[in-house]
Every structure is written in structure tokens, then in C-alpha cells.
Copies of this chain bind each other. A is one copy, B any other.
């Protein structure tokens, strides 16, 4: 029996996690170990300075899950290091917003999948490209179905080590999604602004505000695929070496021929 760990960065009660659990039960035995609160935009965390607590909770259908006060990547480490035996694969999500472009360096959803790959397990991050400021509850069913398909392909095909898969799915009904494109990481355009306000005692405080980030929808990128109505699957590398500029930087910076 295939054993799958599901985690996320929104917390164990998030509806996106439950949609993912339900879809992946068709593929194997699903265990959940997820944060007990929201860690969005938390990055890749390893909690070494304090101990972590783990509790049993129930998901929406009454099934058992584990939750921890650690970050998403801590949850993966806790599971791999002993709390969940014999894992075959780790899936993180479904995040209620896309993780595309530079988002992947901030994303708790993506770093949970990275942590799995560091421990030698296949890792997949799943996100829904929902509209900004949506009011209705999100429908995760199509994203969950795409996650299930990608997990089946991951189990059939051994991926190169160091490779994390990052899946983003349009917020459309399943039949309206045009298919799956394998893409490059695109370029995010952030519109952050600094807002200064005064507290009741006249002391200033700062919000990182501004419009939501946009992206350049080049063909072949995560943005381009989503914009064209496709689900986007991007392989990410844990080796961040800028190979293309290595020689140039070696010429400019190295003071030793062995470098």
C-alpha cells in the first residue's frame, strides 16, 4: 500500500487540505500532519530552538489527523523522523492562492515539499490560482483531481533527486481546464507599498501593503499556462547554483585558479 503524507501551510482545518486528502485516498493510505495555525509566506523553517507539540485532531469526516505547532517543513521533518512510518510521498496543499514566480521562495506550501525532497522522498506542492478578494468559498475539486493524477505519475516515474514538483491549478470547473503543461518558473511582479499609520498613542507602525502581485504571462511559464487555462507543473531544483553565470563570476571574482 502506498503511504502518502499530506500537510499544508494554512493549518489542519483548511478546506484545501481536506479536498487533497479525499482525492489522494483513491491512490493510497493518507496520513495528515499539518500545522495547528496558518503559516502563509513563512518560508523554509527548521525549528531547533524550542520543542514542538503534536496533537491528535479530527478532520471534517471524523478521520484522525496529527497537528503540530511547528511550521509546514517542521511537520514534514516530524513525520519523516518518526511520527509516520514508511512514507512513499509527501503532498502539500491545496493552498488557496497560486504559488508561482518568486512566490516559491516564500511559500510554506512549497517548502514543505522541499523538506520532503531533502529527506529523500518525492514532494509535490499544490495550489489553486484563485481570484483576488474572492468572497465565495473556493472549489478545490478540480485542483484535487489534478493533484491525484500528478501523484499517480510520480509513483509510476521516479523523479531525479533534488527535484520538487510545484502544481498550480486554475480556479475553473474540471472540464474547463485545458490540460496540464510542464512549465518554467515565471517572473512575479510585486506591487508592495509601505503604508505608515499611527497607533492610538501616536507611535507609527508599518504595513507591507499595495496591490496583489501580478505576473508576466510568457509562454512556457507557470503564469503563461494558468493565464491560458492550463494547470501548470514546474519542476524546481534544490540546488540553487546559478550555473549559467558561474564561469563569468569565476572570471570576475576568483583569486585562485582552483576556484
Contacts and interface: CB of A to CB of B under 8 A. Distances in A.
Interface string A98-117: 00001011100001001000
B45 A42 contact: yes
Contacts of A218: none
A4 to B, nearest CB: 18
A204 B82 CA distance: 14
Main secondary structure of the interface of A (DSSP, over half): mixed
Residue with the highest number of chain B CB atoms closer than 10 Å, among A182, A184, A244: A182
Interface stretch (A20-28, A126-134, A136-144, A235-243): A235-243
Contacts of A256: 178-181, 230
Interface stretch (A46-54, A57-65, A88-96): A46-54
A118 B181 contact: no
A254 interface: yes
Contacts of A241: 184-185, 234-237
A194 to B, nearest CB: 4
